[in-house]
Structure 1
Amino acid sequence: MVEKFRGKEVSLRPVFDQDMDDFVRFMNDFEASLFTGSMPGLYTADDERDYFKKSEDKRQFAVDYQGEVIGLVELFDIDLVNRRAVLGIMIGQGEARSRGLGYDIINLVLDYGFYLLNLHSISLTCFTFNHRAQALYKKCGFQEIGRWRQSRYLAGDYYDTLYMDILKEDHKPYLIYQEIQETIGKYKK
């Protein structure tokens, strides 16, 4: 198995062509797509390949848990001049949700963004009906910075979209940061 970054429970690795079937399944899963805001769409393997080909301003990782792809995490709309990006995460495999894996995934990506891409700010959006995600983001250090009131209409009700961000100074270094420091330390001697 190829892995780029190893967390406490998950690994992040490049996305490969053979992952497309998993991603098509995830994007067409009702619950997974509801939380990403893409629920009304129907997705094919070609749609997913096209999405991954458009990667000039994003970094995408397949999330591996116990040898199986369970989702995707990405930094997109990367602006290296202003040192900011947007975080997106999807745990597509239903059995992998609500296991505490999101904390590991998000902190790995924050380390990657802050200590390898040298970003200053990472933001995200979240629907107000997704209380688990809001709690996770706050646990990872994100703060609410605004909301778009009644911006999402689902099943007869309107929901707000929350805007959250985290600055590099608010992030406690995680495992990638430690690995960088250890590797550099080997060569300083």
Structure 2
Amino acid sequence: MSILGQRILLRALELEDLPLLHQWSNDETLWSLLGGWHFPTSREAQRDWLLGLKNDSLNQRFGIEVPGHGLIGTANLVSIDWKNRTAEHGMMIGDPSLRGQGHGTDVIATVMRYAFDELGLSRLSTTIIEYNAASLATYTRKTPWVIEGVQRQWYYRKGQRWDRIMLGVSAEEYRAWQAARGDSL
């Protein structure tokens, strides 16, 4: 099964994706834009991680594919809480030359559509490191996500402390945004 966006396709991650996933998992510049801790990853550890995804219904990870480019990044719905119908969302565009071209906006819209219309979730959340201005602008200016709070000095990067910006979106906000855009997907 694939989840079709306007310009992207979300699909399962496959063993053939391992070379790119391994490259991205060891790209210090890329990981400095994302939350969490990141350590150098071996090919074997990357393979084990990928194989471990198949039975995890609470943490879904997708490959982002673009026609003519193939796999360009990953997206996820993690910490899915089926009782409260919530999940956390994240994404990364691994190829820097493909950032800033609208793929991220399409990924966010596609993930929201899948989460709210197919899975029946009612709320999504994400966090962004304060200096990742491009991601913050994509979520808050191009999609219906809103800033819900700031955790001061959460991250330690580049020799200093940085805030973690917390964002969220509800199914109702998504549907109002979708209706205003006239989306038919």
Specify the SS of the correspondent of 1:48. Answer: helix
Among 9, 30, 42, the alignment partner of 1:44 is: 42
Specify the SS of the correspondent of 1:36. Answer: coil
1:156 deviation in Å? 2.4
1:59 corresponds to 2:60:
yes
TM-score computed with the length of structure 2 as normaliser: 0.87
Q: Do the aligned residues in 2 keep the contact of 1:111 with 1:173 (CA within 8 Å)?
A: no
Specify the SS of the correspondent of 2:32. Answer: helix
Q: Do the aligned residues in 2 keep the contact of 1:125 with 1:163 (CA within 8 Å)?
A: yes
Name 1:35's counterpart in structure 2: 33
The letter of the residue matching 1:126 is I
Among 80, 83, 107, the alignment partner of 1:81 is: 83
Q: Root-mean-square deviation (CA), in Å?
A: 2.0
Among 165, 169, 186, the alignment partner of 2:168 is: 165
Separation of aligned partners in 2, 1:155 and 1:31:
11
Alignment CA distance shift 1:146-1:50 (3 Å): farther
Give the fraction of aligned pairs with identical amino acids, expressed as a percent. 26
Gaps of 5+ in 1: 180-189
Q: Do the aligned residues in 1 keep the contact of 2:146 with 2:167 (CA within 8 Å)?
A: yes
Name 2:100's counterpart in structure 1: 98
Q: Do the aligned residues in 1 keep the contact of 2:77 with 2:89 (CA within 8 Å)?
A: yes
Separation of aligned partners in 2, 1:56 and 1:45:
24
1:10-45 deviation per Cα after TM superposition (whole angstroms, max 9, x unaligned): 111111111111111111112211112356410123
The letter of the residue matching 1:65 is V
TM-score computed with the length of structure 1 as normaliser: 0.85
Q: Do the aligned residues in 2 keep the contact of 1:27 with 1:92 (CA within 8 Å)?
A: no
Q: Do the aligned residues in 2 keep the contact of 1:26 with 1:32 (CA within 8 Å)?
A: yes
The letter of the residue matching 1:142 is W
Mean alpha-carbon deviation: is it higher for 81-90 or for 21-30? Answer: 21-30
Q: Do the aligned residues in 1 keep the contact of 2:32 with 2:157 (CA within 8 Å)?
A: no
Mean alpha-carbon deviation: is it higher for 115-124 or for 151-160? Answer: 151-160
Name 2:153's counterpart in structure 1: 150
Separation of aligned partners in 2, 1:48 and 1:88:
18
1:110-149 matches, within 5 Å, as 110-138=112-140, 139-149=142-152
How many residue pairs get matched? Answer: 176
1:71 corresponds to 2:73:
yes
Gaps of 5+ in 2: none
Q: Do the aligned residues in 1 keep the contact of 2:35 with 2:128 (CA within 8 Å)?
A: no
1:8 deviation in Å? 2.0
